């Protein structure tokens, strides 16, 4: 979702590159054996540009204990684990889909501190251990729909946000919830360099209305595929709001603040005519630069057999969430 590019095309290119190894990329660039004649500096630049599919991925997470409530299981085909953990948007680590997996290994996620503050009777701070042990964890298989028109089906592990909010006891003045990602430029290169970080403002911030935040579907995810989240997916804890475009699902959260007024949100600040506060998935409301009527489902196939499928209103969760928006014009409130 770079501001100035047609995303669909940029995206397909990124995914083709993601599926190649380094040798194939050099060949594709026409510099296989010839790269020996490039100065090492030029070579380094090329490899920089291609940002390291050969770099080791961060270690997989630790196994978690969780239940699998029937209600949240699904017969949809799952996106394979290596794509969920290798094809990411986490601009703090770079813009290409392979960048977060290549670069997020340096992020220290333990110790961690998440504070819940603002319009609450009992402000609290949760440690890394609290996040993994204080709540009963359950597996929930959700669709994820990125605003860039690709989608996945992901087996998250986590707990509903309303359980965490209940501990803090929101006051009657709590009308919205404001979330903030870690700000740590020494470990997040995109926060230091506008070129790497895509020119958005950091820390990344997001927000929900209080009723959206309290909805039983709204999840705090601490794991995926049965293990703790890898850093590229937002360790140690990230939000998952499955009926909204993926950019609402903010990663690596350090602050949750209950507030009276609608909080600013990163992509809306960056391009208010393209990314709204609500960001509900809606096949009938196009992005100004591309259609949202269909999506590319990232499944087990290679890039040549990625399935195009219709986009579903509220990403398929209309039965659960449509009532939240009764009387709201979804075209104006995109």
Q: Which residues are annotated as a binding site for Mo-molybdopterin?
A: 88, 91-92, 146, 181, 233, 238, 249-251
Q: Which residues 6+ apart lie within 8 Å of 320 measured at CB?
A: 215, 216, 217, 243, 314
- Pick the closer one to ligand MTE by CB: 26 or 178: 178
Q: Rounded CA gap, 191 and 106, in Å? A: 14
**End-to-end CA gap in the chain:** 16
Q: Which does 88 bind (CB under 5 to 8 A by kind): Mo ion, ligand MTE, none?
A: ligand MTE
User: Which residues on neighbouring strands pair with residue 228, listed in sequence order?
Assistant: 223
- Pick the closer one to ligand MTE by CB: 215 or 238: 238
Residues 131-170 that bind ligand MTE (CB under 6 A): 144, 146
Establish how many alpha carbons lie within 13 A of residue 304's alpha carbon, considering only the half-sphere containing its beta carbon. 0
Q: Which residues 6+ apart lie within 8 Å of 264 measured at CB?
A: 205, 207
Q: Is 281 in the site for ligand MTE (CB under 6 A)?
A: no
DSSP string, 49-79: HTT-TTSPPPPP--B---B--GGG---SPPP
Which of 242, 232, 1, 278 has its CA nearest to residue 144? 242
Print the binding letters for residues 181-220 with ligand MTE: x by CB under 6 A, - otherwise: x----------------------x----------------
Residues 80-119 that bind Mo ion (CB under 5 A): 89
Instruction: Work out which of 50, 176, 247, 275 binds Mo ion, going by CB under 5 A.
Output: 247
Q: Which listed range, 83-91, 118-126, 212-220, 326-334, lies at the site for ligand MTE (CB under 6 A)?
A: 83-91
Q: Is 246 in the site for Mo ion (CB under 5 A)?
A: yes
Q: Is 297 in the site for ligand MTE (CB under 6 A)?
A: no
Strands 253-259 and 113-118: parallel
Q: Whole-number minimum distance, CB 252 to ligand MTE, in Å?
A: 6
Which of 334, 122, 85, 92 has its CA nearest to residue 205? 92
What letter would DSSP give residue 306? P
Q: Give just the sign of the alpha carbon dihedral 86, 87, 93, 95.
A: positive
Total of residues contacting ligand MTE (CB under 6 A): 16
Q: Which does 268 bind (CB under 5 to 8 A by kind): ligand MTE, Mo ion, none?
A: none
Which of 110, 113, 90, 109 has its CA nearest to residue 100? 90
Print the binding letters for residues 134-173 with Mo ion: x by CB under 5 A, - otherwise: ------------x---------------------------
Q: Is 247 in the site for ligand MTE (CB under 6 A)?
A: yes
Instruction: Work out which of 18, 50, 66, 91 binds ligand MTE, going by CB under 6 A.
Output: 91
Q: Which residues bind ligand MTE (CB under 6 A)?
A: 88-92, 144, 146, 181, 204, 233-234, 246-247, 249-251
């Amino acid at each position: 979702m770079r501001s100035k590019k047609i995303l669909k095309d940029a995206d397909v290119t990124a995914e083709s590159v993601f599926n190649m190894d380094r040798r194939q990329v050099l060949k594709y660039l026409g510099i296989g054996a010839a790269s020996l004649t490039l100065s090492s500096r030029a070579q380094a630049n090329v490899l920089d540009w291609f940002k390291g599919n050969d770099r080791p991925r961060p270690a997989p997470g630790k196994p978690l204990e969780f239940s699998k409530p029937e209600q949240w299981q699904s017969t949809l085909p799952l996106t394979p684990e290596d794509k969920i953990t290798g094809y990411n948007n986490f601009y703090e680590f770079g813009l290409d889909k392979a960048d977060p997996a290549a670069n997020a290994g340096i992020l220290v996620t333990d110790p961690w501190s998440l504070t819940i503050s603002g319009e609450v009777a009992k402000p609290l701070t949760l440690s890394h251990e609290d996040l993994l042990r204080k709540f009963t964890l359950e597996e929930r298989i959700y669709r994820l729909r990125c605003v860039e028109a690709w989608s996945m089906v992901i087996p998250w592990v986590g707990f509903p946000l309303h359980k965490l909010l209940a501990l803090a006891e929101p006051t009657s003045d709590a009308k919205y919830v404001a979330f903030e990602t870690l700000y740590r430029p020494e470990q997040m290169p995109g926060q230091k360099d506008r070129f790497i970080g895509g020119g958005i403002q950091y820390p990344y911030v997001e927000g929900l209305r209080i009723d959206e935040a309290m909805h039983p579907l709204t999840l705090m995810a601490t794991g995926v595929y049965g293990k703790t989240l890898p850093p590229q997916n937002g360790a140690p804890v990230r939000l998952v709001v499955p009926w909204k475009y993926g950019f609402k699902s903010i990663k690596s959260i350090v602050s949750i603040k209950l507030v009276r007024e609608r909080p600013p949100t990163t992509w809306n600040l960056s391009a208010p005519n393209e990314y709204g506060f609500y960001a509900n998935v809606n096949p009938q409301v196009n992005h100004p630069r591309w259609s949202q009527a269909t999506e590319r489902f990232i499944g087990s196939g290679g890039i040549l057999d990625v399935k195009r499928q219709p986009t579903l209103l509220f990403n398929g969760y209309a039965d659960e969430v449509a009532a939240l928006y009764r009387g709201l014009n979804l075209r104006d409130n995109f």
